[in-house]
């Protein structure tokens, strides 16, 4: 998203500054002009950028009040039980690895994820995987990834909250190749909705899955 330790180039902020160097909000960190919110590294999809400080403050307020619509798609290991529901926990910094988050039972910030199962893939040549849709009520760091891990259904390709890929004897060869070559988590910010900062009109945007994720789904549906 933005320049940081070990990653100063080829970010969204770099591209924004090339296009709109003098037409972005400057609230907060000078390395993050226009950035109202973030999505995780190796997560694709939609973000909103503020072109001025007034818009930035308005959008930030909408995020604080949890009136922003944020819907993600994820491909997870196994099947969620129940298939549709709400995960409501505390999320805090991991005590074992400060780069990770975890569900807290005594301390942390409230985190709420509404989820529903869209599609389940399961047969003799396919490991059990589920395509799920997650709608955020809150936006904690790594929230969906932590909640799916907490349920025992880690997101495919997630290197931080990972589940080891078990080689299955009868798995389709082409599918196995696609899964092993995936170098990111299968998590995509599909829908983003908010009130326009100037007009108040409700806006909603959607984004298709990128090819590397869509190709996996196509293969799963054919296998």
> Residue 152 sits in a domain of what CATH number?
3.30.2350.10
Sign of the four-CA dihedral 193, 40, 12, 181: negative
Question: Is 207 inside any structural domain?
Answer: yes
Which one from 40, 42, 177, 183 is the annotated catalytic residue? 40
Question: Is 3 inside any structural domain?
Answer: no
Question: Is 162 inside any structural domain?
Answer: yes
Question: Is 145 inside any structural domain?
Answer: yes
When pLDDT is averaged across residues 144-156 and rounded to a whole number, the result is: 97
Question: Within its chain, how far is the Cα of 104 from the centroid?
Answer: 20
Helix (H, G, I), strand (E, B), or coil: what is residue 163?
Answer: coil
Check residue 1 and give its pLDDT: 46
Check residue 170 and give its pLDDT: 83
Q: How far apart are CA 75 and CA 130, in angstroms?
A: 6
Check residue 45 and give its pLDDT: 97
When pLDDT is averaged across residues 91-103 and rounded to a whole number, the result is: 95
Contact present, 159 and 83 (Cβ < 8 Å): no
pTM of the model: 0.88
Number of domains in the chain: 1
DSSP 143: H
Question: Is 92 inside any structural domain?
Answer: yes
Check residue 193 and give its pLDDT: 98
Q: How far apart are CA 221 and CA 223, in angstroms?
A: 6
Check residue 106 and give its pLDDT: 93
How far apart are the two ends of the chain, measured CA to CA in Å? 35
Structural domain including 82 reads 12-222
Does 11 score more than 80 pLDDT?
no
Question: Is 1 inside any structural domain?
Answer: no
Instruction: Identify whether 40 is a catalytic site residue.
Output: yes
Question: Is 191 inside any structural domain?
Answer: yes
Q: Which residues pair with 113 in a beta bridge?
A: 87, 136
Classify residue 102 as exposed, middle or buried by CB count within 10 Å of its CB (0-12, 13-18, 19+). Answer: buried
Contact present, 205 and 191 (Cβ < 8 Å): yes
Sign of the four-CA dihedral 138, 43, 208, 18: positive
When pLDDT is averaged across residues 10-36 and rounded to a whole number, the result is: 61
Which of the residue ranges 92-101, 163-172, 205-214 would you say has the lowest mean pLDDT?
163-172
Cα dihedral 58, 60, 64, 68, rounded to 10, equals: 80
Q: How far apart are CA 141 and CA 138, in angstroms?
A: 10
Does 21 score more than 60 pLDDT?
no
Question: Is 4 inside any structural domain?
Answer: no
């Amino acid at each position: 998203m933005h320049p940081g330790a070990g990653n100063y180039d080829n970010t969204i902020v770099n591209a924004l500054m090339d296009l709109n160097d003098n037409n972005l909000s400057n609230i907060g960190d000078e390395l993050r002009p226009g950035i109202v919110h973030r999505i995780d590294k190796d997560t694709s999809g939609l973000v909103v950028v503020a072109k001025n400080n007034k818009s930035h403050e308005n959008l930030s307020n909408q995020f604080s009040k949890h009136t922003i619509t944020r819907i993600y798609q994820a491909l997870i290991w196994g099947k969620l039980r129940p298939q549709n529901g709400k995960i409501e926990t505390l999320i805090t910094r991991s005590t074992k690895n400060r780069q990770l988050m975890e569900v807290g039972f005594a301390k942390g910030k409230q985190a709420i994820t509404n989820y529903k199962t869209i599609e389940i893939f399961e047969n003799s040549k396919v490991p059990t995987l589920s395509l799920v849709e997650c709608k955020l009520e809150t936006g904690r760091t790594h929230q969906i990834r932590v909640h799916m891990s907490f349920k025992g259904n880690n997101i495919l390709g997630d290197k931080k909250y990972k589940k080891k890929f078990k080689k299955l004897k009868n798995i389709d060869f082409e599918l196995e190749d696609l899964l092993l070559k995936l170098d990111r988590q299968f998590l995509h910010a599909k829908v983003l909705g908010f009130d326009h900062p100037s007009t108040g009109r409700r806006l909603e945007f959607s984004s298709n899955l990128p090819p590397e994720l869509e190709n996996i789904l196509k293969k799963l549906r054919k296998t």
